[in-house]
Each structure stands twice: as structure tokens, then as C-alpha cells.
A and B are shown apart, each in its own frame.
Chain A
């Protein structure tokens, strides 16, 4: 059997992660555009969380961690939260997904979507305010904001199922090669 000529595995993988990182940066900045800001909180999902969970499910942990750190850092730079909080939250999310990923294989993409939404809610509504309370960092205590966190988590969970399917289609050859390696 003649083997088809393929590019080196490392090049394909680098291009995939670089594409995802650039996509994540673009979507993070787009989330701060004026028309997007006018949407209700459930109108725009948390792309950074989605990409982190996707990489934790499909790629190695170190790749997911690097992406989480880079995109979390960018998100952190846009806002007023304490330095490092977004990065820490996303790194912990990546680790949690990696631990659970074995049991999720049979139920994807629904389970992956639910997990992404749950992690997003955990991050925004519990982890961040909890950590800021420990640091004595001021933040508003408001039912409106908690409702906004819940709305965004639901949107993120729903969008994640479709988003993961699209990315799987784009990178199917890469994952097939990786799983057979």
C-alpha cells in the first residue's frame, strides 16, 4: 500500500493551536465591541472557556493550559479584575476537564456542552467572587449580575455543543492522526 504524503504531525498540530489561539483572541476582543456590549448577557457566550474546554478534551493538557493562560491573560488585561484571576480559573477548568474527559467520551457533545456551561457558571458566579472576597477586592453584590452570569453560562453551554462540532470537522484529520499515533 502506498502511503499518502502528509505534512509532519508537529506542523499540523502547531497550526491548529495557533489558529485556535488567534480565534480566541479575536473573539475575546470582539466581545468588547459596542454592538456586542448592547446584547443581553445571554446573547454572547464565553469563547475563552469554550476553547479551553475543547483543547482539554481533544489535545494534551499542556496545550490547553498554555491557551487558557494566554487567552485568560488577554481577558484579564481588558478588565479590572485582579491580575491572574482569569488565568487561574481557566487553568483549573482545563485540569478539571482533563480529569473528567475519560468518562465524557460516550456522551459528547451534549455532556461537553453541559460541562462547559457549568464550568462557566462556577467560574463567574462562585470562583471569581469567592477569590475576590478572600483578597478583599471590591465587587458589586447584585442579583442582576448573578442573573447575567447564569444567562451567559446557559448560552456558553448551548453554543459549546455546536462549536465543538464545527472545530471537530475542521481538525478531524489531525485528531485521527493523533489517536492512531
Chain B
């Protein structure tokens, strides 16, 4: 095939490949053949750029952010110039240490196995809410692993590569987490609404839910351990149409400022309701006799 013909056919070939990828995606629903390789590449690029950006951010904070100390800086300028690089480094390490200390306190309080990870990239499109973290299948991660921060739930793993993983944030439209209202133990489904909004669904109008109520994981889905903070109720509309109220929930975690997270490595299997049903029936029959 000569060069000219190849150049003419290239757009059509690429179009066919794109359509093929779309079809594969529609059929497989997430288990795409190119997914792991693409995720690994994107994760590596994200980690490199974030590393460079962190250094630039550290310089900015070290020099230009110290507005209130300008007078003292004048007096100590000679000393500061000698120690400048050390100060920048220590300030950055202190901030990271504080974040990691909070994560470690959370991790110690839980008997489960957790793995710390850094967020290296975010989804740039306006339609979806996801991040890429720098741990993957090689570190023991599985799909549907819970991801949390020291303040609460972040989301769950939806795609893994050997060294990176994609996390579906709890505010994404595809996200649904079984939840309790902590105060009243009312059960509902926490659904993402895109951007920074969530809603607590299937709560009846007669149920007691108020703005300010804390929403926590129920643990019934087998993904998230019970009792983890999801968000707080921001608005309750009992005049909505239908059987259920409209309750808007604000996430507990500032998803725009995520830097380090914890990923749950061991998962309990979800409750086997069929087996549980037969066990309960046997107990009931035993008691009757």
C-alpha cells in the first residue's frame, strides 16, 4: 500500500477503531482490553506532572505566600536566603506529614487492611467524577475496593492496572451507596448527582430526616465497612411528588482537594441472603419443636 493511499485511509481506519472501541465498551461494560494499558500510561503521566507541580507549588508557598511576614523577612533575609531551600522542603514535608498522620490515625482505629495511595490525576470531562490513584493490582487492589480519606468515604475502585487504579467518586452519577441516617437509623441509597451533589433516595415522607443529619455507610453492600461518614444532609424537600422525599447531601470529603487516600484491601463478602434465609428458617423450626 503506497504512502498516499495510507494517508487517505488513515482517518477512516481511525474512525473504525473508535467505533470498535465504543462497541467493545458497550458490550463489556468496563472490562475493556485497552483499559489497563491506557490507565497505566495516564497514571504515569499524571504522577510526573503532579510531582513537578508540587515542587512549583512549594516554591510559591515558600516565597510569595508569606505576605504577613514581609517586615520580619527583610530583617532575616540574609539568613533566609541561605536556608531557603531547606525551609521550602520542610514546609512541604510538614503538610504531607499532617495529612498522613490523620490517615494513619484513621487506619489504626480500624481492624481492616488499608493501603495508602496518592491521587495523581482527575477526569477532565464535565460529565464524570473520577480520579486515578498510584496503587494498582500489583499492590493487591481489586475492583470495588473501598476508598476513603480521614474525613470519610471517597468512592470505590472501578478499574485497575498493574500500578494505578481508577476510582469512581461518590458524587458521580453511577455511584450508589447503601446508607443510614446516623441519628434515626433510616436506610436509603446515596446516589451521586454529578459535580459536588448527592441525594439520599428512597426515604419515605413520613420518615424523620433533617438538614444537618449525618449520613453513614450501612455496610450491607459488602463494599464499604459500616459507619463511615458519607456526608451531611443539606436540604430536605417533603413537598416533592411521589412517595419519597428529596434529600440533598453534601459530601463530607472535599473531593476537589484530595491528595492522599486509603484503599481497603480485604473485603467481606456481601451477605448471602438466600443462605441466611434458610439458616433462619431452620432456627425457627428448631424453636417450634
Contact A83 B14 (CB under 8 A): no
B121 close to A135 (CB less than 8 A): no
Q: Do B166 and A140 have beta carbons less than 8 Å apart?
A: no
Closest CB-CB distance, B32 to chain A, in whole Å? 5
The smallest C-beta distance from A40 to any residue of chain B, in angstroms, reads 11
- Inter-chain contacts of A132 with B (CB < 8 A): 127
Write the nearest CB–CB distance from A78 to chain B, whole angstroms.
Answer: 5
In the complex, what residue of chain A is closest to B28 when comparing beta carbons? A83
Q: Does A9 belong to the interface (CB within 8 Å)?
A: no
CA distance A65 to B158 in the complex (A): 30
Stretch among A30-38, A104-112, A164-172 lining the B interface: A30-38
A8 on the B face (CB < 8 A): no
- Please, which residues of chain A bring their CB within 8 A of the CB of B126? 41, 124, 145, 148-149, 152
Q: How far is the CA of A128 from the CA of B22 in the complex (A)?
A: 12
Interface residue B243 (Cβ < 8 Å from any Cβ of A): no
Partner of A29, one of B46, B130, B195: B46
- Looking at chain A, what size class is its interface with the partner chain? 35 or more
Q: B123 contacts which of A25, A32, A35, A149 (Cβ < 8 Å)?
A: A32
Contact A145:B127 (CB < 8 A) given known A83-B24, A87-B21, A91-B15: yes
Residues of chain B lying within 8 A (CB to CB) of residue A62: 6-8, 10-11
Residues of A within 8 A of B34 (CB): 83
Among the listed A77, A82, A140, A148, which residue makes an inter-chain contact with B22, where contact means beta carbons less than 8 Å apart? A82
Q: Which of A79, A84, A137 contacts B124 (CB 8 A)?
A: A79
For residue A176, which residues in chain B have a CB less than 8 angstroms away from its CB? none
Residues of B near A33 (CB, < 8 A) are 49-50, 53, 122
CA distance A149 to B38 in the complex (A): 25
B258 contacts across to A, CB distance below 8 A: 34
Q: Are A78 and B22 in contact (CB under 8 A)?
A: no
Chain A 66-102: CB-based contact to B (< 8 A → 1; otherwise 0): 1011001111111111111111100110110000000
| Given contact pairs A79-B130, A83-B21, A142-B194, A31 touches B11 in the complex (Cβ within 8 A) | no
Give how many B residues have a beta carbon under 8 Å from the other chain's beta carbons.
Answer: 55
B84 interface contact, C-beta 8 A: no
CA distance A157 to B153 in the complex (A): 38
> Binary interface profile of A, 38-60, with partner B (CB < 8 Å = 1, else 0)?
10010000000000000000001
Shortest CB distance B25–A (Å)? 4
* Residues from chain A with Cβ under 8 Å of B271 in the complex: none
User: Which of B18, B32, B193 has a CB less than 8 Å from the CB of A140?
Assistant: B193
| In the complex, chain B residues whose CB is within 8 Å of the CB of A74 | 38, 41-42, 45
Q: Is B257 an interface residue (CB 8 A)?
A: yes
Q: Which residue of B lies closest to A144 (CB)?
A: B195
- Give the shortest distance, in Å, between B217 (CB) and chain A (any CB): 21
B125 at interface (Cβ–Cβ under 8 A)? yes
Closest chain-A Cβ to B33's Cβ sits at a distance in Å of 9
Q: Can you name 27 A-B residue pairings with CB atoms under 8 Å?
A: A25-B45, A33-B53, A38-B256, A60-B7, A61-B10, A61-B11, A62-B8, A62-B10, A62-B11, A65-B10, A69-B18, A74-B45, A75-B124, A75-B125, A78-B46, A78-B123, A81-B127, A83-B24, A83-B25, A84-B20, A88-B19, A92-B15, A140-B194, A144-B194, A144-B195, A145-B194, A149-B126
